[in-house]
Amino acid sequence: MPEAYKPQVIDHLVRPRHAGRLEEPSGMGESGDAACGDVATFSVLITENRVEEARYEVFGCAACVAAGSALAELVNGRTLLDAARVSKADVEGALGGPLPEGKGHALTLVLDALHKAFEDHWSRTAGAGLLDGYANRGEIGAAGVVAAMSGGVDSAVTALLLKEAGHDVAAVTFRLHDGEKGSRSCCSPDTVLFARDTAHRMGLPHFTLNLKELFDKRVMRDFVDSYEKGRTPNPCVSCNAHVKFHAAAFLADRIGFRQVATGHYARVAEGPSLARPVDESKDQTYVLWPIPKELLARAVFPLGDYRKTEVRRIAEDRGLAVAYTPESQDICFVPDGDYRRFVRKTVSAEPGEVVDREGAVLGRHAGVVDFTVGQRRGIGVSAPTPLYVTEVRPKSKQVVVGRRRDLEVREVLVRDLNWFLPPEEASAVQVRYNGGPVACEVEGDGEGGWIAHLQEPVMAVAAGQSAVFYTADGGRVVGGGVVALGGE
């Protein structure tokens, strides 16, 4: 045994605590790689949010075995929240101090196995509930906030501000897809570990929810289907509509907390309704319109009162490692930004014709999934004046092109609406994330949809985009919906 190991390490090797595996656990988790020589498994029995029993099995070096024993001893009999708060520093302390050089991975390994067991517990608890949509099915607690933590500076500062304001805070990271290791994706494997470590350094309990199936069903499939049908989707909108807030509410209900928080730049106003943030350059109300009103009533957006520069400064002043992390990418599940390649992995695109507005054939294309309304580059035909995609017709496999003025619209049909305020308060509409609101008047179409009559034309409005309505002063969201074609 190397002399560098502390007596506490030796003690855990000679007298292991809670070794073995539960036969009927509430959750099981494994971390490591047999090829590398270290594998840790935790099984837990959880009753009424208490870790009644936790057992470990570790195959690998002495440091990993001792760390598994120390962690099992630390969490046995504790509340689930206290167990989820146990950090690498706590395990290190139980082992008498820093491990020998090159052995620090043992702490990450065993903690990851334990947290995967908790993750499995939540998956078993949720069952198919999250897939079917979740909202306030449990008893809402009297206090406490579940803060979604993606691994970036915004979500970290959100959790920190809530803690400093005196709230009981539990952090949660969503495992949404198999993000590439080391990528900037908000839910890559590395980011889950980073978010957990960030939460623990703040003294917060941290959980992970496996939402891969839900995300695939509600976001990724919708993304691919939309392009196949000639529409332009916004996956962030779909994620907010069906995944993040529902999952955070699920966890809050299970641990007895009342509110949910994210790092979005927005505010909750009376109604409840959405209101624009102080930093209008970071305004994210456009992608939040689908949040069900009953969930918005439980939501808090601490960053709504701050500017991005202030958020970075807070992270720097508090010594958070996330202070200098780059902005996350636009589409988290398309790491290289090539959404066409991503769609083509699933869709068998068929070639078709590029035609003008009169139907004259100007050329050929390799598949309608490669085109969106307003597109100018990559059309594949030449003309004396610039051509833009004005329409995508999946059924006939045609891509219609025209001049820039052919993209102008003065009426927008909107369906699948979610209203926070009475529709008659809608005085302006915004049809793309980076666009601005345009004055309008709205009226029902008699079939559940609404028509926005624009006071000035808007360019390149595509089916599938979000249309978000604002009050006359532009400060509050009245409601939002999905842009539809006239015949839909």
pLDDT in tens, 270-287: 989 999 999 999 999 999
Total domains in the fold of the chain: 4
* Boundary residue ending a domain (93, 126, 159): 126
Are 287 and 423 contained in the same domain?
no
Return the pLDDT at 184: 46
Q: What's the token pair of residue 225?
A: 């289907």
Are 361 and 219 contained in the same domain?
no
Return the pLDDT at 325: 80
Are 201 and 112 contained in the same domain?
no
Assign residue 231 the CATH number of its domain.
3.40.50.620
Q: DSSP letter at 329?
A: P
Are 22 and 77 contained in the same domain?
yes
Are 319 and 370 contained in the same domain?
no
Are 45 and 79 contained in the same domain?
yes
Q: What is the pTM of this model?
A: 0.91
Domain that includes residue 452, residue range: 407-484
Are 383 and 458 contained in the same domain?
no
Residues labelled as active-site residues: 239, 332
DSSP β-bridge partners for residue 477: 470
Assign residue 16 the CATH number of its domain.
3.90.1010.10
Q: What's the token pair of residue 307?
A: 């500017």
* Boundary residue ending a domain (402, 420, 437): 402
Tell me whether residue 136 is in a domain.
no
Q: Which residues of the chain have pLDDT under 50?
A: 1-2, 138, 180-185, 487-488
Are 317 and 367 contained in the same domain?
no
* Boundary residue ending a domain (275, 292, 324): 324
Q: Return the half-sphere exposure (C-beta side, CA atoms, 13 A cut-off) of residue 55.
A: 12
Tell me whether residue 330 is in a domain.
no
Return the pLDDT at 36: 63
Are 11 and 109 contained in the same domain?
yes
pLDDT in tens, 140-152: 666 899 999 998 9
Tell me whether residue 329 is in a domain.
no
Return the pLDDT at 406: 94
Strand, coil or helix: 443: strand
Are 154 and 301 contained in the same domain?
yes
- Burial level of 260, CB count in 10 A (0-12/13-18/19+)? buried
Tell me whether residue 339 is in a domain.
no
Tell me whether residue 209 is in a domain.
yes
Tell me whether residue 137 is in a domain.
no
The CA distances from residue 73 to 12, 45, 168, in Å, are: 10, 14, 25
> In this structure, are residues 412 and 454 in contact, taking their beta carbons and an 8 Å threshold?
yes
Residue 190 carries which side chain, given as an amino acid letter? D
Tell me whether residue 131 is in a domain.
no
Return the pLDDT at 341: 85
Are 59 and 152 contained in the same domain?
no
Pairing mode of beta strands 38-47, 50-59: antiparallel
> For residues 241 and 290, what is the distance between their CA atoms, to the nearest angstrom?
5
Are 178 and 246 contained in the same domain?
yes
